[in-house]
Structure 1
Amino acid sequence: MNDTWAPVPAGSGFGITNLPYGVFATPGTSPRVGARIGDHVLDLATALNDEVFATPSLNAFLAQGRARWTRVRARIWDLLTDERHRTDVERALHPLHTVSLHLPFDVADYIDFYASEHHATNLGRMFRPDAAALLPNWKHLPVGYHGRAGTVVVSNTDIIRPCGQRKAPADDAPTFGPSAKLDIEVEVGFVVGTPSPLGSRVATTDFAEHVFGVCLVNDWSARDIQAWEYVPLGPFLGKSFATSVSPWIVPLEALGEARVPTPAGQPALLDYLREPEPWGLDLDLELVLNGRKVSHPPYARMYYSPAQMLAHTTVNGAALRTGDLYASGTVSGPERDQWGSLIELTWNGAEPLTLPDGSTRTFLADGDTVTISGTAPGPDGARIDLGEVTGTIAPARE
């Protein structure tokens, strides 16, 4: 593994084997595309002399496809490892603390899945205690729903508590007001670069030809609004008010060491969902609420892989567009400290969490700050840092 001449702190997960992409601005300048190295951002429009990176979105680059992604990554690697380029390239490096980070891509469509067997089982046991935890379709296909692309926001955007209709089982009629059961969902997102034609299907083996990279996602959920509205068509206003994403998109090429098989389940999946090549990912995630680590969900335990989710998305002929984002659904493992939502961690409010200041939480309070972070194995024992996605709850606007 080549070393970089760039100033990368010891133990950083943003070394030369990572090189995630984002959109940044320096004071007085317009947002543009950069790559992170250590605690600096490399201005790619300047370093590569390429106008495709002078735009405030990754979309133009994403649309160029896998071969172009590979060439650009190799060129960035060369610039940051060959001392002959150092003098010129240093001028394009900006300390991270001097820049602002923006939504890294224009979101075309947003889909959210429900791909964790442990999460789906927990919610099934919670809400259907006298029936099977998993519904009959769950082990045959990746269950999902279409979200709202226009409310995907970048990390550190405040989340305004949503209002809506709520009706508890004991209530005679619904009421309107701020959600009292505002929740989080620890998720992993996948960003589509190469589109597909309407009427075609994307096979699991073509996943890496279409998906550029990975980000972290917090799919905020108003559980009380959701519970009243979701029958019979599923999530709507309880989900669509905000979805937060991390500012750095880690390319699939940085995650070669993280690939693992998905769990072998029964019954056998239909042919279009089978994976000749595994695309499970060994990602270690962490959920922190007001400075307290409350869980560490293991993405490697997910029942469906991102390749299977993509194949299912397009099996009916639905077209992919550059900038499509799809997320895994809540990541939860078998143990309580591996659950990725407050509805699980507090068992729908019955078992509150105690925070370091002595306060308790069943669901989120105004002023609460949530951070999701993650890492993956890299070459030679290194770690690949996925960055963070953070949000703070602001009061409802009634």
Structure 2
Amino acid sequence: MSWIDIPDGSPFGPDNLPLGVFRHGDEEPRVGAAIGDQIIDLAPVASAQMLDGAQLFAQPSLNAFLALGRPAWRATRDWLLDLVRNSADRDTVEPHLIPRSAVSMQLPFEVADYVDFYASEQHATNLGRLFRPDSEPLLPNWKHLPVGYHGRAGTIVASGTDIVRPSGQRKAPDASAPTYGPSRRLDIEVELGYVVGTPSTLGKPVSVDEFEDHVYGVVIVNDWSARDLQAWEYVPLGPFLGKSFATSVSPWVVSLDALAASAVPLGVQDPPVLPYLRGRHLTNYDITFEVRLNGHLVSSPPYRDIYWSPAQMLAHLTVNGASVRTGDLYASGTVSGAGKDQRGSFIELTWGGREPLVLDGEEHGFLEDGDEVTISAWASRPDGSRLGLGEVTGRIIPTQPT
């Protein structure tokens, strides 16, 4: 399907072509498309072919391209598909292929706003049982609306960025008063993030059927969490310092068009949702994540059965008239499945630290300084093939002295 040599098992085949921002040596960051173990440097290729908007690929973020909207996104994808399939373009493209190992990947887009949802029923049930053992695990509103909160766009970082252990207030269950210090229960959250391209108008909600008009594609998200800070602060207003210190995203944005074959129907929602959350073709994606702690595979959370669809999340985010902007990111919240090896956080995998993981004979509960977490993901398609989303990684480093 392509004249470019693609290694077996590569996540980035000729029908994927995700976009990202790379830096090659001391050159300025710019936009590229991943294929196999290489990157197509798009700016010079687009200029050579006198493509309208070629200068957008010389930018240090995807935002200008994202703002063009769906017709331009589809036209660009068609152009990319032709580049890698048509051998007549080889002489134009080949001089601008760069090994991915020779570049450093940057944050792919400038994040405007960030919203984190709580869309996995299994995850919400697990945390309800851990945090509120004497109550029903799901609160009364959970199956009526996609629960979420607004996060901090300024602390979203590129994959590979070290994560400084956060400090804050935490209170042990048997303590009479809180103390201040580094988090002792540092965790991950495996999530799928949706990248907004086309903005909306303040005061005008986005309907579920307009999802694909506004969202360009997806990234893998690791929303790092300090569970001890979170447990002390989250009542009554929800997540704050326990979540806001860092969120990592993968470097490659996979378009919704590339993911189309991996769409699956949304499961039954009971009780029925209100009219603004109903749609003709609500879907999720058949995506499986893999979580590795210091190289050890510890979990494989499935996304396809998540309770709330991305279109419903966007509709609820804007139903009060709130607008979305180019570069907005909203994430699914932790993705967890029914099996113990499908849980998307260490608080679930270790059941609050009481059932530590045993790796190479050593027990692991929450994250220690020096631990490295890598989350990768694949989308499955009906023909048995897979499309990769890449990976996001981060290493925990000690709290910085004040």
- 2:387 paired residue among 384, 388, 396: 384
The Cα offsets for residues 255-297 of structure 1, whole Å up to 9 and x where unpaired, read as 1111111220210000111121122111011111111111100
How far does the alpha carbon of each residue in 1:87-138 deviate from its partner, in whole angstroms, 9 at most, with x for none?
1111111011111100000000000000000000011111222211100000
Give the partner amino acid of 1:127: F
Residue 167, structure 1, aligned to residue 171, structure 2:
yes
Amino acid of the residue matched to residue 337 of structure 1?
Answer: D
Q: Which residue of 1 aligns with 2:243?
A: 239
**Residue type of the alignment partner of 1:326:** Y
* 1:220-241 alpha-carbon deviations (Å, 9 max, x no partner): 0000011111111110111000
Aligned match for 1:221, one of 219, 225, 230:
225
Q: Does 1:373 align with 2:372?
A: no
| Candidates 364, 367, 370, aligned match of 1:364 | 367
Q: Any residues of structure 2 matched to 1:101-250 within 5 Å, and which?
A: 101-250=105-254
Tell me whether 1:11 sits opposite 2:9 in the alignment: yes
Q: What secondary structure, in the 3-state scheme, does the structure 2 residue paired with 1:67 have?
A: helix
Residue 304 of structure 2 aligns to a residue whose secondary structure is helix
* Bigger Cα displacement from structure 2, 87-96 vs 106-115: 87-96
CA displacement at 1:378 relative to structure 2 = 4.1
| Partner residue, 2:50 | none
The whole-number CA distance in structure 2 between the counterparts of 1:394 and 1:311 is 38
Q: Determine whether 1:332 maps to 2:336.
A: yes
Q: Which residue is equivalent to 1:396?
A: 399
TM superposition shift of 1:172: 1.5
Indicate the SS of the match to 1:299: coil
Select 2:43's aligned residue among 21, 42, 45: 45
> Deviations for 1:69-98, whole angstroms, at most 9, x for unmatched residues?
000111111111111110111111101111
| Amino acid of the structure 2 residue aligned with 1:284 | T
Query: Given that residues 262 and 382 in structure 2 are in contact (C-alpha distance below 8 angstroms), is that contact kept between their aligned partners in structure 1?
Result: no
CA RMSD of aligned residues (A): 0.9
**What is the alpha-carbon distance in structure 1 between the residues aligned to residue 135 and residue 9 of structure 2?**
48
Identical pairs, percent:
62
Rounded Cα–Cα distance in structure 2 between residues aligned with 1:246 and 1:110: 15
- Contact preservation (8 Å) 1:285, 1:298: yes
Residue type at the aligned position of 1:99: V
The aligned runs of 1:63-74 (5 Å cut-off) are: 63-74=67-78
- Report deviation, 1:353: 0.8
Give the deviation of 1:340 after TM superposition. Answer: 0.3
Give the letter aligned to residue 216 of structure 1.
I
Task: Give 1:384's aligned amino acid.
Answer: L
Query: Which amino acid in the other structure matches residue 239 of structure 1?
Result: K
Measured in 2, the distance between the counterparts of 1:45 and 1:174 equals: 54
Amino acid at match of 1:105: F
Mapped contact 2:286–2:381 kept (Cα < 8 A) = no
Specify the SS of the correspondent of 1:354.
strand
Query: Runs of 5+ in structure 1 lacking a partner?
Result: none
Q: Is the 8 A contact 1:255 1:377 kept in 2?
A: no
Q: Any conservation in 2 of the 1:17–1:378 contact (CA below 8 Å)?
A: no
> What amino acid is the match of 1:212?
Y
> What's the TM-score, normalizing by structure 2?
0.97
Amino acid at match of 1:375: W
Please tell me whether the aligned partners of residues 164 and 396 of structure 2 are also in contact (alpha carbons under 8 angstroms): yes
CA distance in 1, matches of 2:282, 2:316: 16
Structure 2 stretches of 5 or more lacking a match?
Answer: 48-53
> 2:266 pairs with 262, 268, 273, which one?
262
SS at match of 2:6: coil
Contact kept in structure 2, 1:13 and 1:382, CA below 8 Å:
no
Whether the aligned pair in 1 keeps the contact of 2:12 and 2:34 (CA below 8 Å) is: yes
- Other-structure match for 2:62: 58
Whole-Å separation in 2 of the counterparts to 1:347 and 1:17: 40
Match of 2:276 in 1: 272
SS in 1 for 2:217: strand
**Distance in 1 between the 2:144 and 2:282 partners?**
18
Q: Report SS of the residue matched to 2:169.
A: strand
1:33-65 Cα offsets, whole Å, 9 max, x none, are 000011111111111121011010000000000
Q: Is the 8 A contact 1:256 1:378 kept in 2?
A: no
1:346 alignment counterpart: 350
User: Which amino acid in 2 is paired with 1:43?
Assistant: D
The Cα offsets for residues 328-385 of structure 1, whole Å up to 9 and x where unpaired, read as 00000111111000000111111111112x2211100000000100001247432100
Partner SS for 2:229:
helix
Q: Identify which range, 257-266 or 377-386, moves more after superposition.
A: 377-386
Q: Which whole-Å CA distance do the structure 1 matches of 2:382 and 2:70 have between them?
A: 21
- Give me the whole-angstrom Cα distance separating, in 2, the residues matched to 1:236 and 1:206: 31
